[in-house]
Structure 1
Amino acid sequence: DPFLQPVNLTAADGMVIPITMGDIDYLRQYGARLSINWGSQLGASIMILLMLLLLTRPDKRRSPIFIINALCLLCNCIRSFLQVRYLTGNYWNFYSLVAADTSRDTDADRANTVTANTFTLIVVMLIFASLSIQVWVVTKTTSTLQRTIIMGVTTVFALAAVAFRFAVTVISNMLVMQRAEYGMRYTEWLFDQMLVMQAVATWMYCTVFTAKLGYALVQRRKLGLSQFGPMQIVFIMAVQTMIFPALFTVLQFYKSVPELGSVSITILCIFPPLSAIWAGVVANDAQLGAS
C-alpha cells in the first residue's frame, strides 16, 4: 500500500528512525482536529464573555459570582489562544515529534506552554470557586448541619481535584523547562487520576444543584406554580453540566479522539454564566409582562 509505505528519517546523531506515511497522515489530521477544537473553544468563550458583559444588569456586575464567571471566561480565552499558538510553534514540528528532538525549541515555545498550563490551573480553580458559591446559595434554605455537611463534602472533592491539577501543572512545567523528550509519558497515571477526580468533583456539585432545585420544583408544582422561570432554567443547566463534562472527560480515555477531553473545562466555564444570562432574561421578561 503506497499510502502506508515506510519512510526513514535520519536523526541528528545519525540514527535512522523508521516511520510510515500513515504516521505522517495521522499527525496531519490530529493537528487539524486540535486547531478546530481549540479554535471552537476560543470562539465560544469570547462569545459568552461578551454576552455576559452586555446582558448582565449593572447592579449585578459587582456580585462575586459575576466577577468569578467573567474572570473564568477571560482566562479560558487566554488558555485557548495559547493552545492554538502551540500549534504554530516549534513544538508542533513533525520531525521534533517523531524524533523527540527538542533542540529547536525556543524560550518563547516553552513560555507559551508553561503559561497555558498555568492558566488551565487558574481556570479550574475559578470553576470550583464559582460552583462553591452557587452551592452555598442553593443550600441557604437547608438546616445549618445539612449545609455544613454539603459544603464540607463538596469542598473536599474540589480541593482534591485542584490538588491533582496543581501537581500535573507543576510536573508538566518542570518537564518543559528541563526539555524532557517524552513529556509526561511516564506519569500518565497522574493525569488520568486528575481527570477522574475533576469529573467526580463536578458531579458532586451538580448533584447538589439538581437534587435541591428538583425538590423545589416539585414543591412549587404541588402549590400550582408551574410557570417556566429562572428556577427551571438553572435546573436544566445543572443537569447539562452533570452530563456533558463527564461525557467529554470519558472521551479523553478514548484514544481515537483524545483532544475532546479538554472541552470539559470550557463547558464548565460556559454553562454557569449562560444559565445566569438565560434566567436573567426570563425574569426580566416576566417583570415586563406583569407591568
Structure 2
Amino acid sequence: MDDFDPFQQNFSIKKTNNETLVLGLAQVNALYQDFISTSANYGSQIGASFMLLLTIIVMMPPFKLIKVSLWLQITGLILNIVRMTLLAVHFTSNWSNIYCLLAADYSHISLADHYRSVATEAISLLLHMLVQVSLGIQAWALVNLLPGLWKWGFTGFSCFISAAAITLRVWCSIVNIKAFMSMSVAGSLWISQSSGIVGAVSITYYCALFNIKLLTHLVKNRGILPSRQGMSAMEVLIITNGLLMIIPGLCYRQFSSWAYLIETG
C-alpha cells in the first residue's frame, strides 16, 4: 500500500445497459479544469466585447454612424456577447453532466439543450461571416491605394480566401447542427478541421496584409511615426489595423487541440 496514490485511483460506474465502465479521478479532474478554464475564457470575451461595444456607442461621433463597416463591427460585438453567453450556459446543461460525458450516454439531453446548441452554432456562423466581410472591407480601403495590378490581385485573393472560409464554415455548421439533432458526429471531423484551418489562414492573411502596410509606412517615415496631427485618416487606419491584427494572429497559435480551434472558428 506504500505505492498507493489516492489521487490516481480508479472507480467504476454502471451504464444503462449494465456494462461496467472503469474511470480514473484524473479524467474527472481534467474535465473540471477544462470547464473552469474555458468558462473563464468565455467570461473574459463577454466582458471585453461589452466594454468595446460601450466605448464605440459612447465615444463614436454621430456622423460616423452611417458607415457600413462600423455597423458590422457593432453587430459583431452584439453577436459575440450572445454567443459567448450561450457557450457559458452550455456548462449548466445536460451536455456537461459528468456521467453523460464519460459514458457517452446522451439519453437525458433535453430539447432545450439541443435548441441552445443549434442557436449557438447559428450565431457562430453569422459572427464568422461578419468578421470576414468586415476584414474584407477594411482590406479594400488599404489595397485601393495600390497600383492597378496589385490592387486587383490582393482584392481577388481577399475575396477568394474570405469566400472559402465562409463556405467551409457554412458546411461545417450544417454538419454540426445535424449532429446535434441526431447525436451523431461520425465523418464530420475533417470538415471541422478544414474550416478551422482555412479560418486560421484567413485571419493570418489579413494580419499579414495589414502589418505589411504598417511596415511599409514605417519604412517610408524612416521608422519614426509622425504626430497624430500630422497623420491622415488612412495612416491611422493602417497603423491601428496592423497593430490590432497581431492579437488574433497570436491567439490562433495558442490552441493545442482541434476542439478549441474549431470552436473559435
For Structure 1 versus Structure 2, the TM-score category normalised by the shorter chain is 0.7 to 0.9
Which residue matches 2:18? Answer: 14
Deviation at 1:207, TM superposition (A): 2.4
2:168 corresponds to: 164
Letter in 2 for 1:13: N
Unaligned residue ranges in structure 1 (runs of 5+): 266-291
- 2:122 is matched with 118
Aligned-residue offset at 1:205? 2.0
Give TM-score, length-normalised by structure 1. Answer: 0.80
Mapped pair 1:250 → 2:253: yes
SS in 1 for 2:16: coil
Determine the C-alpha separation between the residues in 2 that align with 1:208 and 1:37.
28
**Does the 8 Å CA contact 2:46/2:84 hold for their aligned counterparts?**
yes
CA contact (8 A) 2:214 2:242 kept: no
Aligned residue in 1 for 2:29? 25
What are the Cα deviations for residues 237-286 of structure 1, in whole angstroms up to 9, with x where unaligned?
42441x3323332332x14x964x47966xxxxxxxxxxxxxxxxxxxxx
Aligned to 2:226: 226
Distance across 1 between alignment mates of 2:122 and 2:209:
29
Could you tell me which residue of structure 1 aligns to residue 71 of structure 2?
A: 67
C-alpha displacement of 1:235: 2.0
Task: Report the count of equivalent residues.
Answer: 256
Matched residues, percent identical?
25
For 2:171 and 2:219, how far apart are their aligned partners in 1?
A: 42
The CA deviation at 1:28 is 1.3
Question: For 1:79-98, what aligned pairs fall within 5 Å after superposition?
Answer: 79-98=83-102
Which letter does structure 2 place at the counterpart of 1:63? K
Q: Is the partner of 1:141 in helix, strand or coil?
A: coil
Residue 277 of structure 1 aligns with which residue? none
In the alignment, the residues of structure 1 paired with residue 145 and residue 217 of structure 2 have an alpha-carbon distance, to the nearest angstrom, of 10
What does residue 209 of structure 2 align with? Answer: 208
Between 202-211 and 53-62, report the one with greater CA deviation.
Answer: 202-211
Q: How far did residue 225 of structure 1 move?
A: 7.1
On the 8 A contact 2:211/2:241 being kept in 1, the answer is no
Change in Cα spacing, 1:19 to 1:263, as seen in structure 2 (3 Å) is: closer
Q: Per the alignment, in what secondary structure is the counterpart of residue 14 of structure 1? A: coil
In 1, Cα distance between the equivalents of 2:75 and 2:240?
A: 24
Matched, 1:196 2:200: no
Structure 2 CA distance for partners of 1:191 and 1:146, relative to 1, 3 Å: same
- The DSSP-based 3-state class of the residue aligned with 2:23 is strand
CA drift at 1:65: 0.9
Residue identity in the other structure for 1:251: Q
Of 1, 6, 28, the residue aligned with 1:2 is: 6
Structure 2: distance between partners of 1:58 and 1:76: 24
Cα contact 1:91–1:105 (8 A) shared by 2: yes
Q: Please, which runs of 5 or more residues in structure 2 have no aligned partner?
A: none
The alignment's TM-score, normalised by the length of structure 2, stands at: 0.88
Are 1:35 and 2:39 an aligned pair? Answer: yes
Q: Contact 1:45–1:73 at 8 Å: present in 2 too?
A: yes
| Contact 1:248/1:263, CA 8 A, preserved across alignment | no
Is the CA contact 1:245–1:263 (under 8 Å) kept in the aligned structure 2?
no
Distance in 2, Cα, partners of 1:264 & 1:105: 24
